[in-house]
Amino acid sequence: MQKKLIALAVAGLVSAPVFAQSNIQIYGVADAYMKYGDFMGDDAMGVDSGGLAGSRIGFRGEEDLGSGLKAVFVLEQGINIDSGKSTGMTGDDDKNSGDQTFTRQAYVGLKGNFGQVALGRQYAPGYFTADYDALLSAPGISPMSLLSNFTRLTITPNSAARWNNSVTYNGTFQSVSLSGIYSAGNRETDVKNGDDNNDDDKYGVSLKYDNGPLKIGGVYQGVKFSGSNTIAGVKADETQKEWLIGASYNFGMATLAGSYQQGRDVLGWNGLDIDLWQVGVIVPVGAGNIHVAYAQGDVDKANLLQDDVKPKSFTVAYTHALSKRTTGYVGYTKVDYDDLLWGEAEVLGNNLNGHAGTEKVDDTDLFYVGINHKF
């Protein structure tokens, strides 16, 4: 009898850590596609990562603290599945030193009936635009994603909407959800005789309504610039101010979705104003969906460009549910840069890719077929 009790005690000690960690989950996305065609006029053929969603691996968990309160955390790293390498941090994160680990999200917080409050590297409200996009914010093929990222807007389903040193609030109350974020910017402490980081704060709020077939929402974000960068004699010390309003409605036979957004003093440069609208439709076909979307931007020259430009993008795609977790997709995407020069594209933060600044940026025309698996 004594031996049995000892055995049970040992078994309890061994199983206790496993039980304590049972609320920790490993999750992720593996998404790869084969592409063929032209990217900004250059030949493009091969395997790429993240057509429908960015490939990633993450860890999340929660602990019940009692009285309806829980501790939560998320650690998430992006992966380029075509090369097996991790995705690095971009944009304002280039000042940070250290290893590029958990660059998508990294936060810890508390949640309860009031919602959730968290601290760390987190999504700004403008990251969540999928409800108003017929391509569901697919980073590699959505016209809204492609153009908002190209024009350096922060209301975008891309890295520009992941903010360091931030505190967030997210709450859902029946059909209404509210989100807010404040970020101390790239650094929380100034360096003596170095850059002044007091003016790199970021903030944003969103309000959404989701009831049955109707979804509607609005987002506002602001990003301060310290003025440490100048180009063409223009000092970048303005606050980039953005807003978006979007909606979708499921008619049963099809879902219509669209949004309109504006960015003022983009990248901190006075007068660099950008408008972007998009509209699309999702049509169910058996176990799959046909997705069609069109987007158009309007970029003011603001003494940085030779003229106003209106880039346009169009996508038609078919997604097919192979299982609950696996989706195959095939499609075509086109982007017309409206005679934008490569030097002007560089002003917007894009790489010249070996081109002369006086050359025009040719169109993107890509065909692709891929697979997305969630785990």
Which of residues 335 and 2 earns the better pLDDT score? 335
Q: What is the pLDDT of residues 7-26, one digit of tens each?
A: 444 444 444 444 444 489 99
The structure tokens listed for 294 are 């069109």
Q: Identify whether 111 is part of a domain.
A: yes
Alpha-carbon span 31 to 166, nearest angstrom: 28
Contact 182, 203 (CB under 8 A): yes
Report how many domains make up the chain: 1
Contact 201, 225 (CB under 8 A): no
Q: Identify whether 16 is part of a domain.
A: no
Q: Identify whether 34 is part of a domain.
A: yes
**Would you put residue 349 in left (φ > 0), alpha (ψ -120 to 50) or beta?**
left
Q: Identify whether 239 is part of a domain.
A: yes
Mean pLDDT of 307-332: 97
Residue 263 structural domain? 25-374
Q: Identify whether 38 is part of a domain.
A: yes
The structure tokens listed for 144 are 């809204």
Which of residues 196 and 31 earns the better pLDDT score? 31
Q: Identify whether 3 is part of a domain.
A: no
Q: How confident is the model at residue 152 (pLDDT cuts 50, 70, 90)?
A: very high
The CATH number assigned to the domain holding 287 equals: 2.40.160.10
- Specify the pLDDT at position 9: 43
β-sheet bridge partners, residue 71: 63, 110
Q: Identify whether 85 is part of a domain.
A: yes
Q: Identify whether 17 is part of a domain.
A: no
Q: What is the pLDDT of residues 102-142, one digit of tens each?
A: 889 999 999 999 999 999 999 999 999 999 999 999 999 99
DSSP assignment string, 127-148: G--GGG-TTTT-TTT-HHHHHH
